[in-house]
Structure 1
Amino acid sequence: MKRTLTHEQIARAIAHARGPDTRVTGSRELAGGTFNSVHLLTLDRGAGRESAVLKVGPPAGTPLMTYEHALMRTEAEFYRRASAVPGLPVPRVLATGSDRTAIDGDHLLMTRLEGEPWARLRPGIGAEDQARLRAGLGRLVRGLHRVRGSSFGYPYADPPAGAAGSWRTAFEAMLADVCADARRYRAPLPVDPDEVLGLVRARGRLLDQVKTPSLVHFDLWEGNILLAEREGRLEITGILDGERSFWGDPLADLVSTALFGDITRDPAFLSGYRSSPLTADERLRIAMYRTYLALIVLVEGVPRGYDPQARAPLTAWAAADLEAALDLLRHGAGQRAAAVPPLRAPLPRRR
């Protein structure tokens, strides 16, 4: 699925984005992604050199999930809007392209941020530093959620999954789309998609509690967060991969931050994010968003042609969290969420 770019294609894209006098003097493809092609570039603009990252989507005709259209534009929009948050480290958008003039694929050129993925560094991080970083992430996410939109849903989706007047309308359409994708691609699921839709719709009144669209990243696991040493200690230096972002309930970001688990078991993060405990209604809304992310993970491997055996640990975690979230929706938030086995290693990159 991921394309291979030639030096000529990269040079043509850069010339189109930054002008014909900009030369590519260094290029290295970043390993690990399976969907987009990502290259770390050194650019010479005459007045000096700069580092940049070029991200290119898959070729036209690649099988996609419904929500995966216009991902590059969505990611660029996320960075532009999130850059207004003081202290939130996101790349600066240098250029975007979707007209296929320079390269046969949607692409995004952005500044390079310093650091290494948190998931890669985590084995060497002590408990005290881990708690400090988690609280810091909570504060950054709280700031992100102060960015408000004018409608609910995905920024470039057609109604009702985009430009919706209510969060209930948008989210039920988003969930219906992923359930339709599951049927279309015949993805193996541990539950019937109709049951998932029914459980969420039965508690749809809870979604009506969300009155204002907030900017939601929805992929804030530690593989998408960069850390670097500053003044002798690790700090968060980058928030990446905003292509899953949407306008919705800020509590939706408490799903990937816990990644196949219960955010209430992360008191450090919550201490930075908010001062009050989660209510029963809020826990049920989070359970809805856990079902949505778990379904995406379980379905996307089919159109992308992933090896089911290699992906088995990830799908097992997603299936277990899906069942735990559905139990909450069936029986209410008074019970403790079922435990999901902890992640033993960094998850594979999805992008």
Structure 2
Amino acid sequence: MKRTLTDEQIAGVVAHARGPGTRVLTSRELTGGTFNSVHLLTLAAPPATEEEAAVLKVAPPAGTPLMTYENALMRTEAEFYRRAAAVPGLPVPGILAAGSDRTAIDGDYLLMTHLEGETWERLRPRIGAEDHARLRADLGRLLRGLHRIRGSSFGYPYGNPPAGAATGWRAAFDGMLADVCADARRFGPPLPVDPDEVLGLVRTRGRLLDQVTVPSLVHFDLWEGNILLAERDGRLEITGVLDGERSFWGDPLADLVSTALFGDIAGDPAFLSGYRPAAPLTTDERRRIAMYRAYLALIVLVEGVPRGYDPQARAPLTALAADDLRVALNLLR
């Protein structure tokens, strides 16, 4: 699924984004992602004399098999960065240009500012317990600020139907989950339970979703691989929050799933001290989180088929997702 970009294609997209006088001095593909093509570029454009670092992200070409929710992911990501940039202290890339008219290349693209740092996942073995706890609390505070960004409707910004089609969060999330269950039947990955059982259990507890009356901006992919860290003034700090393509307008508690990926956020007191100090999760809130754990686990289990991942190489991840799906359903029961 992940395309390989030629130097000519990169130059063409940059010219479309920044004008024909902009030159690509260097280009290096950034590895780790498996869906979009991502390149770190050095750009120069007259009359400026300084070089500029930028990141170019290009979506797969039209006709690539996708899950239902993956409609217009790059436009969703651009909107996330524009909205999240209003949060004090939250480091997200700036949008230099975005294109979805398919004139420069047969796919959506984003040209963004480059943020310094390495992923938290990569640096984790070198982070001591004290620094780790401090960074988790910092992440909680940043996420609390993100969730103060409110929308006017629930759901994916460019979903089909788009946000606003549902009358409330219960209807929006029911549609989101139903789409993933339909994708599971369409692509046929091995699953530990029938998708209809997942949908039925969530609908049985649907009244809990009615407690969410205001749509918050939710990232929904805040695992350590999407968070950058760098040393500033002698200690590690969060310097980047990336990959907002799965974001939606919904229940802020949904972001407590990927922040504790395949685990229980209640077991992370450092994070919670930053996110909601002195306010332990209630039983109803834990059940809502369980619904979102089931939703994310299903996405992980299904997406490997349309993306053409090697099932054996992906087996450790799918085993974790399958276990977490079982845990989430037991919580709902």
TM range (shorter): over 0.9
Aligned to 2:295: 292
Aligned with 1:153: secondary structure?
A: coil
Shift of 1:41: 0.3
In structure 1, the residue matched to 2:7 is 7
Q: Residues 300-332 of structure 1: CA distance to partner in whole angstroms, max 9, x if unpaired? A: 0011111111000000000001000100000xx
Alignment root-mean-square deviation, CA: 0.9
Is the aligned partner of 1:281 residue 2:289?
no
Shift of 1:209: 0.3
Q: How many residues align?
A: 330
Is the contact between residue 160 and residue 173 of structure 1 (CA under 8 Å) also seen in structure 2? Answer: no
Separation in 1, partners of 2:219, 2:98: 19
**Could you tell me whether the CA contact under 8 Å between 2:166 and 2:172 is conserved in 1?**
yes
* C-alpha distance in structure 2 between counterparts of 1:267 and 1:59, whole Å: 43
Q: In 1, are the aligned partners of 2:76 and 2:157 still within 8 Å (CA)?
A: yes
Amino acid at match of 2:168: S
Deviations 1:106-161 (A, max 9, x none): 11110000000000000010000000000000000000000000000000113376
**What residue number does 2:201 align with?**
199
Deviation at 1:165, TM superposition (A): 2.4
**Aligned residue number for residue 16 of structure 1:** 16
AA aligned to 2:147 is: H
> Do the aligned partners of 1:216 and 1:247 also contact (CA within 8 Å) in 2?
yes
1:187: how far off? 1.3
Whichever residue aligns with residue 2 of structure 1, its letter is K
One-letter code aligned to 2:200: G
Q: 1:64 to 1:133 in 2, by over 3 A?
A: same
In the alignment, is the contact (CA less than 8 A) between 1:154 and 1:162 conserved in 2? no
Pick the aligned partner of 1:301 from 292, 297, 304. 304
Whether 1:136 aligns to 2:138 is yes
Q: Does 1:218 align with 2:233?
A: no
Q: Which of 313, 318, 321 pairs up with 1:318?
A: 321
Return 5+ residue gaps in structure 2 as ranges.
Answer: none
Map 1:66-145 → 2, pairs under 5 A: 66-145=68-147
Query: Which 5+ residue runs of structure 1 have no aligned equivalent?
Result: 331-351
- Is 1:157–2:159 an aligned residue pair? yes
**Residues 222-242 of structure 1, C-alpha deviation per residue, up to 9 Å, x if partnerless?**
000000000000000000000
Determine if contact 1:27/1:41 at 8 Å carries over to the other structure. yes
What is the SS of the residue equivalent to 1:304?
Answer: coil
Give the whole-Å Cα distance in 1 for the aligned partners of 2:233 and 2:133: 18
- Whole-angstrom distance in 1 between the partners of 2:321 and 2:160: 28
Quote the Cα distance in structure 1 between the aligned partners of 2:318 and 2:187: 16
C-alpha offsets along residues 53-94 of structure 1, whole Å, 9 cap, x if unaligned? 000011111110000010000000000000000000000001
Say which of 311, 329, 332 aligns to 1:329: 332
Alignment of 1:228-307 (within 5 A): 228-275=230-277, 276-307=279-310
Taking structure 1 as reference, are residues 2 and 295 closer, same or farther at Cα in structure 2, changes over 3 Å only? same
Distance 2:32 2:221 in 1: 16
Which segments of structure 1 move beyond 6 Å, counting only runs of 4 or more? none
Distance 2:130 2:33 in 1: 31
Identity in percent: 83
Cα distance in structure 2, aligned partners of 1:196 and 1:108: 35
Which stretch shows the higher mean deviation, 17-26 or 233-242? 17-26
SS of alignment partner, residue 133 of structure 2: helix
25-34 vs 281-290, which deviates more?
25-34
Distance (whole Å) between structure 2 residues aligned to residue 253 and residue 163 of structure 1:
22
Q: Give the match's secondary structure for 2:193.
A: coil
3-state DSSP of counterpart to 2:274: helix
Q: Does 2:33 correspond to 1:33?
A: yes
* 2:156–2:162 contact (8 Å) kept in structure 1: no
